[in-house]
A and B are shown apart, each in its own frame.
Chain A
Amino acid sequence: MTSTEKTDVVVVGSGFGGAIAAYHLAAGGARVVVLERGPWLRAEDFDHDFKLGSSYTRIFDFTVGDGMSVLAGNCVGGGSVVYFATMPRAPRFVFERHGGIGRRMWPASISRETLDPWYDVVSAALPVTPQTWDDVPYAGGLFAAACRHAGRSANPVPSAIDKQLCTNCNWMMAGCRFDAKRSLLLNYLPAAVENGAEIRPLREVQRLTRTAEGNYQVHYNRVDDTDYRLQHESAVIEAKIVVLAAGAGATPVILQRSEAELGTMPHAVGRYFSGNGERLNTAVINENRAREVLGLDRGDGHAYGAHQIGKGPCVATWDHLDESLPEYSRYSLEQLYFPPGLGTILAQAPGAAAPAWFGREKKEMLRDWQSWLTVFAMTEDDNEGVFGPPPATGNAERVTQQMLGRGTLGYDPTANTLRGWAESDAEVRDILERDGIAKVRPWSNELVGAYTVHPLSSCRIGDDPATSALDDRHELRGHPGIFVTDGSAVPGALTVNPALTIAALAERAIPALVQAAQERGVAVTYEASSPVSGTAHQVAVPTGR
């Protein structure tokens, strides 16, 4: 009989929720093992290449569901490696939202004021910095000029990008070759390793069981490094604390699969999923009108024609982030870039009779690809996503070797969500079709349903046990010692890019997590340190439980 491997803390997933927990627990003296489903790549491994099998297909997943498809990171560093590093804080009203439950969704202990110090901690660690107009690529500039022309405001958005190193190559979804994107590979994760944490890539956690002593056994498989459909040997590791941070598309699935042995899960596990209310429109810019109406000129004969150039979303308009507007009518609009392939398939040719997403007119639309401007709406959806029974392994039946899978998430948008999308679509048209600047059409929701790059809320915090899976310290109700610190803990749509909020919530969760570890016999302290400087921050930590 072989003995089971033991450690103090197992962290499942290495995105914001996992990396921040791993760093602080390791820095505080705990033995930490991080299990990450995807591969571990570094700057030199990040290809500028669409070829199947390059980093572009190795490090993120496109999971098709019933009414909602999810794009998410699948690598050490998680979403931070594949995302666009746009890092605004969530507006104040978001924390007061009621959604569909008739009461405040967020725990009473969290507001913008109480989260701001944690936003500061993460912003210093990554770091997050403001952008100036000199940093804004042509696409963002064009969107800003169109907003001004339409009487709207527009802001360069703070980002976690080192502008000195950035080449504006727009290959961010394949990982940053230049280490300009301040992903977790450059701060929390190396600091966690330096403090003794062990990161194991290509290890997919399937389920948890509990021992007679109240510890948890984490059951995982090794995933093939090329064909992710293949699972190799299984293993078990035992820990006193488990931190689940596999992402909002995967964390609830692990808990669903564990329910038979762990016992009943809170009702909200695998429910209340939010796609952050996301919606995309593609505008095809009329180059002449961009010059004549907006006065734009690149100085090389082009007014715009620069869809390929840049660093993801850099400019947003926040005029509808107005707390006096009714819920579901508040949203931000952001200029965005999506590469060809996944970024073109759902775009519909403006004005085309059906079909608009393939065929003759779609090809004509592609001829103008460099004049496309993609506009991203982040609205308030209704947390209507529900996960079905878990697949045999992982969170999806994988269709292709990498990237594409079929998951169990069902999402049937309510009238509230549909209204938000319709209002934001109308706003995009009003801004960009004014005076013939562009022709605009939303992406199709007919083919794979809605889509999100910011999955949230499938295992959320809250004060009401009936509608939240976690208490306000991120501990799973009824299952002491299991914490969830990823995007699934966020109660609802944020109307802005959520990464900074996910990270701030994870930082905020650490003191209680450390306390829980101490109570379970782990020799660990909370150092309140920064992964970059090693110095302590000054946030007042709430005491008591």
Chain B
Amino acid sequence: MTQIATLEAFADTIIPGCKRTSDDRAIAGVSEDGGAVAAGALAVLADPALGLTDALEGMAGLLNMHAGAYGRKRGLTLDGTVPALVALSFDDRTALVQELTGPAHSEREVWFGAALFCTMAFDSAPHLPTATALAEHHPGLELIGFRAPDADGLWRFADFSYRRRLADPHPQTTETGSPT
């Protein structure tokens, strides 16, 4: 449970969402609709196609180590009944993720990578077939307004153009349409 709650708290810091229950601790609840956790960030991180499954326990441990150090440095008293990252406020989690992904941090590529996968979970749902995710009202794809495919699962946009000249071409354009 520690691992799941910790990774959920990380994902919720990247794209925040609403609490699932009133006593939800992992999700800080600073947003009114679903965020990276509801979008499936943990499923993405654990997807065998990424091949990171074995690393997740270690990543959760590192996150809590960094969260504990962050709290001590600032004289915060962290609730010991939950993982240290979960015990931080949303703003403190955010400040910690900024530190972890900052140019000076030796693990920044790890945490940028984790943030990338959480973002991808939210706005591209790479753990699901995209058409299925849309049909099931995936919260991220729905929030960005990603349009649904045709019945055969392929995207086509018959209306795609204003169909009028909207600017004057550069005066030195060649016959082939290139710059001179």
Residues of A within 8 A of B (CB): 48-53, 57, 64, 88-92, 112, 119, 123, 128, 130-131, 133-138, 141-142, 144-145, 147-148, 152-158, 167-171, 177, 227, 229, 296, 298-300, 305-306, 308-310, 315, 317-319, 321, 332, 339-342, 344-345, 354-355, 358-360, 362-363, 366-367, 369-370, 399-402, 404, 406, 446-448, 496
Complex CA distance for A446 and B109, rounded to whole angstroms: 11
Q: List the 5 closest A-B pairs by CB distance, nearest first.
A: A52-B49, A154-B167, A369-B144, A167-B156, A144-B167
Which B residues touch A52, using CB under 8 A? 44, 47, 49-50, 126-127
Give the distance to chain A from B161, nearest Cβ to Cβ, in Å: 6
Residue of B whose beta carbon sits closest to that of A177:
B154
B: interface residue count bin: 35 or more
Interface membership of B51, Cβ < 8 A: yes
Tell me whether A51 and B128 are in contact (CB under 8 A).
Answer: yes
Which B residues touch A401, using CB under 8 A? 48-51
Interface membership of B98, Cβ < 8 A: yes
**What's the A-B contact tally at a CB cutoff of 8 Å?**
218
Given contacts A156-B177, A369-B144, contact A138 B155 (CB under 8 A): no
| Cβ proximity bits B102-119 to A, threshold 8 Å, 1 near / 0 not | 110000110011011001
One of B60-68, B70-78, B79-87, B168-176 contacting the partner:
B168-176
Determine chain A's interface SS by DSSP, over half rule: loop
Interface membership of B6, Cβ < 8 A: no
Given contacts A50-B126, A89-B179, A153-B168, contact A354 B98 (CB under 8 A): yes
Tell me whether A402 and B176 are in contact (CB under 8 A).
Answer: no
Give the distance to chain B from A123, nearest Cβ to Cβ, in Å: 7
Complex CA distance for A376 and B52, rounded to whole angstroms: 33
Residues of B within 8 A of A (CB): 13-16, 30-31, 35, 44, 47-52, 94, 97-98, 101-103, 108-109, 112-113, 115-116, 119-120, 122-131, 140-141, 143-147, 149, 153-157, 159-171, 173-174, 176-180
Given contacts A340-B123, A366-B144, contact A318 B155 (CB under 8 A): no
Q: Which of B13, B15, B49 contacts A402 (CB 8 A)?
A: B49
Complex CA distance for A406 and B112, rounded to whole angstroms: 13
Tell me whether B163 and A344 are in contact (CB under 8 A).
Answer: no
Give the distance to chain B from A125, nearest Cβ to Cβ, in Å: 14
Which residue among A339, A340, A366 has the maximum number of chain B CB atoms within 10 Å of its CB? A340
Instruction: Other than A321-B170, A341-B116, give 10 A-B pairs with Cβ distance below 8 A.
Output: A48-B131, A152-B167, A154-B168, A155-B173, A300-B159, A317-B170, A319-B170, A339-B124, A340-B124, A447-B112
Tell me whether B179 and A153 are in contact (CB under 8 A).
Answer: no
Which B residues touch A363, using CB under 8 A? 15-16, 31, 35, 143
Residue of B whose beta carbon sits closest to that of A159:
B177
Which A residues touch B146, using CB under 8 A? 308, 340, 369
Which residue among A90, A358, A367, A401 has the maximum number of chain B CB atoms within 10 Å of its CB? A358
Tell me whether B169 and A154 are in contact (CB under 8 A).
Answer: yes
Which B residues touch A153, using CB under 8 A? 167-171
Tell me whether A133 and B163 are in contact (CB under 8 A).
Answer: yes
Residue of A whose beta carbon sits closest to that of B14:
A358
Which A residues touch B97, using CB under 8 A? 355, 358
Residue of A whose beta carbon sits closest to that of B121:
A341
Complex CA distance for A300 and B157, rounded to whole angstroms: 14
Residue of A whose beta carbon sits closest to that of B147:
A308
Given contacts A157-B177, A370-B145, contact A48 B51 (CB under 8 A): no
Tell me whether A355 and B98 are in contact (CB under 8 A).
Answer: yes
Give the distance to chain A from B153, nearest Cβ to Cβ, in Å: 7
Q: Which of A51, A141, A360 contacts B31 (CB 8 A)?
A: A360
Tell me whether B143 and A158 are in contact (CB under 8 A).
Answer: no
Q: Which of B30, B124, B140, B176 contacts A123 (CB 8 A)?
A: B176
